Structure 1
Amino acid sequence: MRAYLHSRRPVLNTPMPHGLSRKIRIAFILQVVMASLAIVIAFFVVGTLFKYSFVRSSLQEEARHYWELREAAPAYPPPSTYALRAYLVKPGESSQELPAHLRKLDPGFHELKRQGQMVWVERNPGGTLYMVFLREQANRLAWWFAVLPAMFALFAIYGATWLTYKSSKRLVSPLAWLARQVSRWDPRKPDIAALAPERLPTEMQGEARQLAGALHALGERVEAQLTRERNFTRDASHELRTPLTVIRVASDMALADESLEPRLARSLRRIQRAGRDMEAVVDAFLILAREPDVVPQSEWFDVCDVVHEEAVKARMLLGDKPVELQVTCDGAPRIYAPPRVLHVILGNLLRNACSYTDRGVVEVTVADGVVQVRDTGIGMSVEALERAFEPFYRARPEAPMGTGLGLSIVRRLCERFGWEIELESTLDSGTTARILFTTGDPRQAGIIGFPEDEPTRPRG
């Protein structure tokens, strides 16, 4: 089963800022819109109910009351008021005296929109009664008893919402001010003086002032930590290199002695190689410790030269194992970067390949923009491959070699220079690692070089 893992520099998505004041404003606007919508719906519902329920029941009550009065006084005339007209057609009488639009109405409730009337028709032994209510009067009543109170309620909601919004805005303004100050901080040099207690606005009290004090204290600790890190990087850059330089110079002087025994010469050369490896590791760690915008010292160099140097060291790790280490260079690619960084990356990849390969081949291939290290070793399972770049993780914990930091350092260095590292593995069949140099926007970063960027030099 073949597993594949691709690691590259992570892309950081900066979220768009949404202030607390803006969110509160949006919340209150939505509240007003929802309240207005609810009131408008209430207008329609109340008006409809008033017209078709209140008016209908009123006409029915007026009709019932008229029949009661007529039983007591048969000559009692139909009512005629400002909003109500009534017509009575006695049994046997002609309906010609009725308005034309009322003559064909059946008993029940009717709305005559063209005439602007609501009519209740009721028939009993005393005749047919037509109760006519003018719709204009119904609309006027609906306005006074339904719409106008609802409008007052809406204005009251608007006023209460506005007062609540102003009060909320006043309460969150200290937090908004605090957020603006923190958002302006430079992570490398935060301006913590703006949050000093004596510089806080007078309206910032209570929890907001406590939060500002906590952020001010945190900023002071961050500033102190950054200062310590800068001092450590500066001091380590000098103090760690000094003893390594002494070892290298002393071993060079000892190797210059022509009477040196071969056994001691081999030991001194091993000391020299170990010293160079240690210098490369120190440089790599110092690069990782520096801030990302600090460009390390770089130069043009041949990738194949680095590959051949690391291959010589790797052959010593193989010892007597039946493993062949092959190097194939397709062309002579050159890049602009710190050479020791590539030494550390290739050294870790070759060390892993030689350590976990008991027979077969370890092959290093160099082409334009890519270096590939392939082995026929034990390989990795899918689970192991997913954790391959974790610090201190080892696919074979029982193996005595390695600390599990190699691939973690490789990935961090690749991310630091905008390169990519790919791992492809098949359990019990081998692993392939690739370093891709042409990714992202290397010209802007000033780390990765191209042939047209390199100064002209004589070719021999």
Structure 2
Amino acid sequence: MQSRRKLRFRLLISFALFGFGLSALFAAASLYVRAKVENQLVNASLQSDVDQAVENAHSNPGQPVGSRLIDAWMWSDRTIYKAPLGWQNLATGVYDMHDVDKDGHPRHYKLAVARKYGLIGFISYDISREDLGKRQLITSLIASVILFSLLSLAIGMWLSRKVLKPVTELAHRLRDFRKAGRAELLAPHFADDEVGELAQALDEYSTRLTAMVERDREFNSDVSHELRTPLAVISSTTELLQGSPDLTDKLRERLKRIERASRQATELIEALLLLSRAERRGPTRGEITDIAKVATDVIDSQRPQIRDKPIEVELLQNDSVTVNAPASVLSVALTNLIGNAIKYTLEGRVTVEVGKGRIDIIDTGPGIKPEDAERLFQRGVRGEGAGGSGAGLGLAIVRRLCELYGWDVSMKPRTDANGAIASIVFER
């Protein structure tokens, strides 16, 4: 999973880590160079001094032993026993020695030893001060690392605020446009740099998107007008024809079918327009849609499909359920679900049950596989087990309408018998 930290935070962390790493590297290099140079200089000085003392003692035996550094001793092989016990067996070289002084304080010194011409010379060099200086240097370097890290953090905060100020302003303007529901040009408010190029690209994208939405709105309006006009003519004509006294029962039934088909087409157009605009529209003021009434109308409109089938369709109303939505939207959803149940049920019963904030359509058809239940709501997917034509868009439209109004639609196989159960839950 990719990190979702803000760009400013990442920039700030980068500056802080860079400052800390550079300071720590400088401190480590300083300690290493100091220790190496100091050790080389001290060792070289001590060895040179003790060699010089031995040469002087060999050349001038009567003169007292002298040293350019303090604390020098000279013994021979016969008098070496006078030297401290820890020194007596040391070979030529320089050693780090630790002991305590006469006051009992720990002491750290370097001891240079030279064995030559039967003489054994010792020179000690107290480096306690160097140890103190080293500790002070380490403390200073640690303080410097902390100081430079804080300084890098402060610089990073200042730079990140300065560098990201145009980006933040661009985001604020976009957010204000979204709240206001209108869009203005962004590019004039920014300099001709990378952020300005981004603002220009957003302006171009917004212009194209606005033009596309406007064309879609005009197309929907034109389609709505062109389709509703002939449907209104059909509806008014059938209504006039039904008032004729010389109509036979057979013709009157056919006119009713035409009227129902016209009404269903009008409702479907309205529902599709709502989906294309992705907007919810409630019923007119004071009007609440009764689910049982809409279900009754849908069942009546589906009666012609069951004339040639041994099927019974019944409506069970266990509770009074109403929704704040257009009747046309609910009618489209129930027409698809009830129509599918009748279509795929070759014989038996289709029960439409209303109650407890939901409606269930239960059939005795071939049923569905549990793994196919969710897939049936996808575009282009048709159920198996019945013939007939169709593009597999009905249940996809139902799902989109239910999502638009916050309803839950589902389908599952029956567990007590063959068949399927389609449900719409209006109250979550």
TM range (shorter): 0.7 to 0.9
Which of 202, 226, 242 is 2:213 aligned to? 226
Amino acid at match of 1:215: L
Partner of 2:422: 433
Query: Out of 122, 129, 138, which is 2:122 matched to?
Result: 129
Distance in 1 of aligned mates of 2:242 and 2:378: 41
1:58 to partner: Cα distance: 4.8
1:346 aligns with 2:334: yes
Give the Cα separation in 1 of the matches to 2:99 and 2:282.
Answer: 87
Q: Assess, with a 3 A threshold, how the Cα gap between structure 1 residues 294 and 333 changes in structure 2: closer, same or farther.
A: closer
**1-structure distance, mates of 2:294, 2:71:** 110
Which segments of 5 or more consecutive residues in structure 1 lack a partner in the other structure?
1-14, 440-460
Give the Cα–Cα distance (whole angstroms) in 2 for the partners of residues 131 and 403 of structure 1.
102
Residues 398 and 327 of structure 1, relative CA distance in 2, 3 Å threshold = closer
Cα distance in 1 for residues equivalent to 2:389 and 2:55: 119
Are 1:39 and 1:154, in contact at CA under 8 Å, matched by a contact in 2? no
Partner of 1:263: 250
Tell whether 2:183 aligns with 1:191: yes
Is the Cα contact below 8 Å between 2:363 and 2:419 reproduced in 1?
Answer: yes
Tell me which residue corresponds to 2:231: 244
Structure 2 CA distance for partners of 1:93 and 1:238, relative to 1, 3 Å: same
Task: Give the aligned residue type for 1:126.
Answer: L
Judge conservation of contact 1:349–1:407 (CA < 8 Å) in 2.
yes
Task: Indicate whether 1:319 and 2:307 are aligned.
Answer: yes
Distance 1:160 1:434, change over 3 A: closer
Query: What is the CA–CA distance in structure 2 between the aligned matches of 1:160 and 1:363, rounded to whole Å?
Result: 73
**Alignment coverage as a number of residue pairs:** 408
Q: Distance in 2 between matches of 1:111 and 1:323?
A: 107
Tell whether the 8 Å contact from 2:49 to 2:68 is kept in structure 1 after alignment.
no
User: How big is the shift at 1:128?
Assistant: 6.1
Q: 1:150-171, CA deviations, whole angstroms, 9 ceiling, x for partnerless residues?
A: 9999999999999899888766
Rounded to whole Å, the distance in 1 between the matches of 2:388 and 2:347 is 18
Specify which structure has the bigger relative contact order, considering alpha-carbon pairs within 8 angstroms and separated by 6 or more residues.
Answer: 1
Tell me: CA distance 1:141–1:280, structure 2 relative to 1, closer, same or farther (3 Å): closer
Computed over aligned residues only, the root mean square deviation of the Cα atoms, in angstroms, reads: 4.2
Q: Secondary structure at the match of 1:29?
A: helix
334 and 294 in structure 1: CA distance in 2 versus 1, 3 angstrom threshold: closer
| 1:189 and 1:223 in contact (8 A); partners too | no
1:68 maps to a residue whose letter is D
Q: Flag the 1:86–1:159 CA change in 2: closer, same or farther, 3 A.
A: farther
Q: Quick one: percent identity of the two aligned structures? A: 24
Q: What does 1:30-41 correspond to in 2, within 5 Å?
A: 30-41=17-28
Structure 2 CA distance for aligned equivalents of residues 368 and 156 of structure 1: 68
How does 1:34-113 map onto structure 2 within 5 Å? 34-42=21-29, 50=35, 58-74=41-57, 77=65, 79-81=67-69, 85-88=71-74, 91=77, 93=79, 107=90, 108-111=95-98
Q: Which range moves more in the overlay, 20-29 or 211-220?
A: 20-29
CA deviations on 1:34-90 (whole Å, 9 max, x unpaired) are: 33344455556666xx1xx65555554445434533442225735354xx6444455
Q: 2:346 aligns with which of 353, 358, 363?
A: 358
CA distance in 2, matches of 1:304, 1:229: 35
Structure 1 259/185 Cα, relative in aligned 2: closer, same or farther at 3 Å?
same
2:362 aligned residue (370, 374, 387) = 374
Q: Which amino acid in 1 is paired with 2:422?
A: A
Tell me the alpha carbon deviations over residues 394-413 of structure 1, each in whole angstroms, 9 at most, x when there is no partner.
23499433221111111111
Compute the displacement of 1:241 (Å): 3.1
2:117 aligned with 1:117: no
Cα-to-partner distance string for 1:144-202 (whole Å, 9 max, x where unaligned): 8x99999999999999999899888766655554444334332884423333xxx243x
Give the residue type in structure 2 aligned to 1:410: V
Which TM-score applies when normalising by structure 2? Answer: 0.78
Q: Radius of gyration: which is bigger?
A: 2
Which structure 2 residue ranges, 5 or more long, are not aligned?
none
Distance 1:291 1:326, change over 3 A: closer
Pair 1:90–1:314, CA change in 2 (3 A): farther
